[in-house]
A and B are shown apart, each in its own frame.
Chain A
Amino acid sequence: MSVRLRKRIHPALEQWFFSRFESFSEIQSLALPHTLSGENTMILAPTGSGKTLAAFLSALSALGKLAEKGKLVNAAHVIYISPLRSLSRDIERNLRGPLDALNASLPDAKRVRMDIRTGDTSLEARQKMSRLKPHLLLTTPESLSSLLSQTQWREGFAPLCVIVDEIHSFFESKRGSLLSITLERLAARGKSSLQRIGLSATASPIEAVGRLLAGNEPYAVAEASVRKAHRLDIAAIPDDTILPAGGFNPYRVAHVVASEVEKAKCSLIFTSTRSAAERLGLALNVLLPDLEGQIEVHHASLDREKRLWVEDQLSQGALRAVVCSSSLELGVDFSGVDQVLLIGAPRGVSRALQRLGRAGHRIDGVAAGALVPLSLPDLLQCIAIRAAVKAGRLDQLRPPKAPLDVLAQAVLGLAVEREHTIDEAYELIVRAGSYLDLRRDDFDCVLDYLAGGGKVLAGNGEYGKISIENGSFKVASRKVARTYYQNIGTISDDYSVRVVTRNQHRLGDVEESFLTALQPGEAFVIGGKSVVVKRFHANVAVVESAKGERVLTPRWMGGKMSLTARLAEEELALRRSLRASFESGGRKSCIQMLCAEYHVASETAERASAYVEQQYQAAPVPVDSPVLVERISERRSLLYIFHSLAGRGVNRSMIWTLSHRLGDEFGSIAGNFDDHSFLLSFGAKRAPDPERLRAAFSPLRFEEDLESALEKTELLGSKFRPICETGQLLPRRNATIPGAQRRAASWSGKLLFETFRRYEPEHPLLREAVREVLEDDLDAPKARRQAALIHSAPWELYQLERPSPFAIPLFAAFNRETLIAQDPDKALDEIVASLYGQWTPA
């Protein structure tokens, strides 16, 4: 089999390959028969198993054969798409070898060209590329989307094969939705059918990811059977270190991380936020002065040159430790990394696996990793996630369904590319994996919006983005086309300010809101350096080195992901076991159970069991049934805390729906939620009794009520702006305009939302905001099931003076949300009246 397979590869490549490797790896043997036959293929294998070559050996062979026949044209024939610019760079480096070998066998005039095109590509390189197109194009989905619309690239594609790397990383976000349309646009440019190859380490469920790649077309699956062995420990916390009751501050455990770093040659350390990465980087540098210069920080808000440098150093094994956020989650080998540390349990099993996979990329290597718990609740989560990782129980990913904002952007992209008939455009879109079920009237609605429609507008659709005539549409003007290019993509940034030194050396970006809140002389850390602001104007802050110890960490906005369903199940199982053990045999029993069933080290088991014992001094360990409810009186309010291990999306749904249902009766209600619990806060004089509360959890019409409740919240308003940006209704925030002007220059997201809601409730972007929130963020169906559980299960109601240990994390979180259940004007009257200590009747 292997011999016949070999012969199907271009001879120059075959020679190159077998001068380096003895034989094909397992995944290459499985995948090559499909890829060499031109079939759509999903290739699933751990990183470092050779799956990249499994795709490229066939793609390069195809290019070689075309070249020999003189059939290469000045266009891209093979397109490689990756989620990260850095990945494209790494792949380019790795392909130099085989490509040079191939080109050596071809005459000069027929050589295969390769080039990268991403947001990082210089203007000069772009101009050159538009004249001399690469046959093998390495790019990102956003750049590809842009190229497909450009005049200079109208004849720039003769695609026969597209390779999508790390395809699972696109899957759960709108980036994947945009990618699926972009793939169809690419396919439409070719004369023959386009071969699609998807690469992934952790795709689950496979069918859904396959659909993203190939739409309704068939595809083969090549899946490696060899699982990478993972050694995953929970780092030992020394006896004298206290784990806090909640929170995510890495300072408390920095010394634990430091000792792990000392034990290994090169550690890749993942934190959950950019701030945490900076904080931990700073702490490690203080704790390990001997390793000065060998510990670096890496995250998306750092200057690109710095990031590239760190990645280079990592590849060469020249660093002892790199502390990063999710920025280094995807990518090629850092073969020198022999240890991955996860600071705090990640939000999902697949994410944990992806991160662990970054260590020891040799095909037979064992990936070594450790979880470092940040708090007592986090300790339990670490135990749970470790069990899931070892058993290979993955998360089931859920993609957004036919999002209308992305659709609007894509349709505009089509309009910029050339004139299309409406039917032709619709048929293309519904071939895309994310839009297979798109309704025609939704498509028409989006077209109408782009054409400037809307019933309130007088004059026929002036100032639209596209013009529609006789069943066809095209872009309204070059100005609109220019604005389109500036606003491609699905990711929204807050206003960010560039941080530079006196010598114009760029350090990175921080958010404007952080800088304006700084007091004069206050220092902050970025890229591991402590700096203080000297001058700050428009979008540039000039800083110099700071002396002294007090240093703040910038806060960058990032989405908060919900605990995955899988992880919630795992934690629930752990809690049930802990509860059963403690109630039968106390702390000792817990320790025994943890060691025997969860295989944790005894000191970890002891700490976890002590935490359980602490909990029992107030209330039992919460499980799903009975439902633990804590009632706490606080100055002028009364709090109900519900333990609900269902993820933040579901718990948020709870507080919204409940406040909507309790309505006017109880005045205004504040709420808060996290992955494990939610709370409702009432004015003490007006709080409901438990039975009234229980009735409010009825699953009947839960989803309808949730949708009504949503209308009153700030959630839709705050979601609306990014959706409007993606849908090309508003420009993306531009930090170069000075503050005061900028505010007046653009609609306030919330006001825009409210105005649409009043005057144009059927607007597609408004409906998308509702869909995104209900389906993607809140998981409405799951919320209903959770409500049914709480409604019917027995409650353990505890009247407490203080929240129990398990409730402290939520209780201590400062961001209580407004839940205005009643008419906003009335609510306002009440607020104002209450300032004088009197209540006005409802």
Chain B
Amino acid sequence: MDTSLILGPGRLGDCSGALYLERTRTLMIADAHLGYGWAQRRRGQMGPVTDGGIRKRLEEVMDRFRPEEVVFLGDTVHAPKPMTAEREFIEEVLNWMITRARVSIVQGNHDRAFGRDFGHLAVSVLPQWRDGGLLGLHGDRLRIEVPDADHYLLGHLHPAVSLQDDAGVNRRVPAFLVSERATVLPAFSPFAAGFDITRLGLPGEVKKLLGRHDIVVATGRRIVRLPARPSRSDR
């Protein structure tokens, strides 16, 4: 079993949930939700303020691929108007990445204000990312518009799947959804539990875009394509 798996031509899935695009040597990361703990504090939720290990995850995946470019595919930060400690953490992470690669941020629903809060950093802030027919979007606005492309790269959904073994033990694991027309990335954030898409189904517009797809599970240590399941009627 491997730590990375070919998902499509020039597209390599990583066990951390990141996607590597060989032609442009781009590492794509969706739904990092940096600053989560601090942001929740600001909302009055007194949970722990810790990075949850995401800094380490990012370092490891950067080391594995040494990309030329890093693209955050939406929801890079969890909330606008960060408090001091939150801002410091996010800037530190991004600045570290900037010394190693070009960094682009595609905006999502949680970080619409990224330009205002972090525009002073040396990153490009984009509504979408393109390489020819390959299009990277966050995926929160598909109901409004679907730009033309040969293959879509999406985040936002936090896909996951529940697996069961012989004793009957269940675990929920993040997963890529992979088809000819699209790849949906799992959430990179350690604070995203993920939604079991085999139980909860997919939003209509994503289902249409994706079509018949494979589920590729990324456990953090391994990445595995699941054997095909019979399709379920959506609820």
Contact = CB atoms under 8 A, between A and B. Distances in A.
Nearest to B157: A740
A430 interface: no
A683 to B, nearest CB: 4
B170 A818 contact: yes
B130 interface: no
A729 B170 contact: no
Contact of B44 (A450, A480, A519, A743): A480
Nearest to A459: B85
A316 interface: no
Contact of B165 (A449, A452, A830): A830
A682 B168 CA distance: 8
Interface stretch (A156-164, A261-269, A493-501, A832-840): A832-840
A828 B167 CA distance: 13
Most chain B CB atoms below 10 A, which of A464, A480, A747 = A747
Interface stretch (B21-29, B46-54, B146-154): B46-54
Nearest to A828: B219
B171 A827 contact: yes
A733 to B, nearest CB: 13
A245 B63 CA distance: 60
B42 A463 contact: yes
A750 B193 contact: yes
11 contacts: A449-B46, A450-B46, A516-B235, A636-B166, A668-B165, A682-B167, A747-B40, A755-B48, A759-B48, A759-B50, A819-B169
A604 to B, nearest CB: 38
Contacts of A449: 46
A824 B170 CA distance: 11
B46 A832 contact: no
A457 B85 contact: yes
A684 B220 CA distance: 28
Given A463-B42, A670-B167, A751-B191, A835 B226 contact: yes
Nearest to B140: A740
A834 B52 CA distance: 29
Contacts of B193: 748, 750-751
A670 B168 contact: yes
Contacts of A829: 1, 219, 221-222
B48 A820 contact: no
B83 A463 contact: yes
A126 interface: no
Contact of A825 (B166, B170, B220): B220
A458 B42 CA distance: 14
Contacts of B83: 459, 462-463
Most chain B CB atoms below 10 A, which of A452, A519, A752 = A752
Given A744-B110, A747-B40, A755 B46 contact: no
A831 B168 CA distance: 10
A669 interface: yes
Nearest to B36: A747
Given A517-B235, A825-B219, A832-B224, A755 B164 contact: no
A295 B42 CA distance: 51
Contact of B224 (A465, A827, A835): A835
B99 interface: no
Question: For the side of the interface on B, what is the size category?
Answer: 35 or more
B48 A827 contact: no
Interface string B13-34: 0000000000000000000000
B231 interface: no
Given A454-B48, A480-B44, A731-B44, A816 B222 contact: no
B45 A669 contact: no
Contacts of A459: 83-85
B32 to A, nearest CB: 13
Most chain A CB atoms below 10 A, which of B1, B45, B167 = B167
A832 B173 CA distance: 10
A465 B45 CA distance: 10
A109 interface: no
Interface string B169-197: 11101000000000000000011010100
B41 interface: yes
A394 to B, nearest CB: 39
Given A457-B85, A750-B193, A816-B168, A832 B45 contact: no
A541 to B, nearest CB: 15
Interface of B: 1, 37, 40-50, 52, 83-85, 88, 110, 163-171, 173, 190-191, 193, 195, 217, 219-222, 224, 226-227, 235
B49 A456 contact: yes
Contacts of A483: 44
Given A668-B167, A751-B193, A834-B166, 15 more contacts: A454-B48, A457-B49, A458-B85, A459-B83, A459-B84, A463-B42, A463-B83, A637-B167, A670-B167, A728-B46, A730-B45, A747-B47, A755-B47, A827-B169, A828-B221
Contacts of A668: 165, 167, 169
Contacts of B88: 458
Contacts of A462: 41, 83, 85
B106 to A, nearest CB: 18
Contact of A760 (B45, B48, B190): B48
Interface string A111-128: 000000000000000000
B110 A452 contact: no
Contacts of B195: 743
A667 interface: yes
Interface in A695-750: 728-731, 743-748, 750
B235 A519 contact: yes
A743 B31 CA distance: 14
Interface string A638-665: 0000000000000000000000000000
A681 interface: yes
A352 B57 CA distance: 56
Nearest to A687: B167
A669 B168 CA distance: 7
Interface in A442-460: 449-450, 452, 454, 456-459
B203 to A, nearest CB: 9
A762 to B, nearest CB: 12
A752 B47 contact: yes
Given A831-B163, A832-B1, A756 B173 contact: no
Contacts of A750: 193
Given A462-B41, A463-B83, A744-B110, A828 B46 contact: no
Interface string A517-558: 101000000000000000000000000000000000000000
Given A463-B42, A729-B46, A755-B52, A683 B166 contact: yes
B44 A831 contact: no
Contact of B167 (A464, A669, A729, A824): A669
B169 A818 contact: yes
Contact of A637 (B40, B166, B224): B166
